[in-house]
C-alpha cells in the first residue's frame, strides 16, 4: 500500500516536485497538472515520479455531470473525458470524479439525487466517459458522497454492475459515508463492509477524519486524521490486506502544511503499531 497527500511549497521542476513529495514522507502523489499542460511537462512529471518511486494515485475531474444546464453539462463531460485520457496516458491508478447533482451547488444535496432517474443518468454518463476513452492503464471512479450515488457499499456495487465496464473502479472516502452518529460510532464495521464488498475494485482511498459535535440537531465535521472518530487501525489494515500498490491512502482537504505533517505522523505511527509499512 502507498501513502501520500498534498505537496506544499514551491518547485521549479518536476524533479523538485518529486523531491518535495519524498521529503513529506509520501510514496504516492496526486498528479500536479491537468490535461491542458504541455506534453513535455506532463512527461517530465511522469518521469520524475517513476525515478523517485512515487505512484501516481489520482487525477481529479471534480465537476458536475448532472448539471441541469446542458451547456455546462457538456463542458463538464468533455473535461472528464480529457482528464481520463490524461490519467491513462500517465498510468494513474484512477481518474476520480463525483457522480453529479441536480443542485445549483455542483456537489450539493438535492431531493432528486437519490432516485432511480439519477441512478440511470449516472450509469449513462459514466459509460459515455469510459467509452470515449477505452482506458487501458487506469480506471474512471466515483467518490462516494453523503447525498448522491454511490452513498453506500451496496449502491456502489449496483453502479459497478450497471455500468458494466472494465474501465470502471471504486474509490473510497470513508468520511463521506459516515453520515449519522450510528455510523460514526461504528466506523470499523462500516470500513469492513466497504472492503468486504468492494475490496478488489478499490483503486484509491482518501484519508480524513470526522468528529461529532454536541450542538443540536446533528453536526458532523471533517477534521485531521487522528483527531476524530474514524478507526484508522481498521482502515489501514484493510487497505493493506489488498496487497496492491494501486491502492493508495491519500490525505486531503486540509489547508495548512502543519496539518499534513501531523496527519502523516499519525498515519505512519498507527500503521507501524499494527505492523504495516508505509
pLDDT of residue 270: 98
Backbone dihedral region for residue 61 (phi beyond 0: left; psi -120 to 50: alpha; all else: beta): alpha
pLDDT of residue 244: 78
Could you tell me which residues come within 8 angstroms of residue 247 by beta carbon, excluding any fewer than 6 positions away? 1, 2, 93, 202, 203, 204, 205, 239
Residues of the chain falling short of pLDDT 50: none
Cell of 198: 468492494
pLDDT of residue 247: 85
**Whole-angstrom distance, CA of residue 208 vs CA of residue 192:** 17
Say which CATH superfamily domain 2-273 falls into: Divalent-metal-dependent TIM barrel enzymes (3.20.20.150)
Helix (H) or strand (E) run with residue 250 in it: strand 248-251
Domain spans in the chain, listed from the N-terminal domain onward: 2-273
pLDDT of residue 52: 98
Cell of 54: 512515487
Cell of 168: 470502471
SS3 category, 200? helix
Look at strands 220-223 and 209-212 and give their pairing. antiparallel
Q: Residue holding cell 449502491?
A: 155
pLDDT of residue 148: 98
pLDDT of residue 202: 96
Find residue 172's DSSP bridge partners. 205
SS3 category, 266? helix
**How many CB atoms neighbour CB 219 within 10 A?**
10
Could you tell me which residues come within 8 angstroms of residue 226 by beta carbon, excluding any fewer than 6 positions away? 209, 232, 262, 263, 266, 267, 270
Tell if the pTM clears 0.85, that is, is over it: yes
Amino acid at each position: 500500500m502507498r501513502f501520500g497527500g498534498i505537496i506544499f511549497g514551491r518547485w521549479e521542476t518536476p524533479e523538485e516536485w518529486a523531491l518535495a513529495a519524498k521529503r513529506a514522507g509520501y510514496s504516492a502523489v496526486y498528479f500536479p497538472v491537468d490535461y491542458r499542460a504541455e506534453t513535455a511537462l506532463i512527461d517530465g512529471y511522469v518521469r520524475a515520479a517513476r525515478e523517485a518511486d512515487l505512484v501516481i494515485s489520482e487525477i481529479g475531474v471534480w465537476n458536475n455531470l448532472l448539471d441541469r444546464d446542458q451547456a455546462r453539462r457538456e463542458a463538464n463531460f468533455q473535461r472528464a473525458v480529457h482528464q481520463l485520457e490524461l490519467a491513462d496516458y500517465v498510468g494513474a491508478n484512477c481518474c476520480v470524479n463525483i457522480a453529479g447533482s441536480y443542485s445549483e451547488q455542483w456537489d450539493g444535496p438535492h431531493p432528486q439525487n437519490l432516485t432511480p432517474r439519477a441512478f440511470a443518468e449516472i450509469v449513462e454518463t459514466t459509460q459515455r466517459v469510459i467509452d470515449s476513452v477505452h482506458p487501458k492503464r487506469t480506471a474512471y471512479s466515483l467518490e462516494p458522497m453523503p447525498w448522491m450515488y454511490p452513498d453506500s457499499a451496496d449502491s456502489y456495487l449496483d453502479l459497478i454492475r450497471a455500468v458494466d465496464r472494465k474501465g470502471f473502479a471504486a474509490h473510497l472516502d470513508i468520511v463521506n459515508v459516515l453520515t449519522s452518529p450510528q455510523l460514526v460510532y461504528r466506523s470499523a464495521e462500516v470500513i469492513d463492509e466497504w472492503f468486504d464488498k468492494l475490496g478488489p475494485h478499490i483503486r484509491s482511498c482518501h484519508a480524513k477524519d470526522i468528529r461529532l459535535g454536541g450542538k443540536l440537531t446533528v453536526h458532523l465535521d471533517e477534521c485531521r486524521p487522528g483527531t476524530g472518530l474514524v478507526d484508522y487501525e481498521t482502515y489501514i489494515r484493510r487497505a493493506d490486506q489488498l496487497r496492491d500498490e494501486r491502492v493508495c491512502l491519500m490525505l486531503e482537504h486540509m489547508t495548512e502544511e502543519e496539518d499534513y505533517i501531523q496527519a502523516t505522523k499519525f498515519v505512519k505511527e498507527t500503521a507501524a503499531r499494527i505492523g504495516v509499512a508505509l
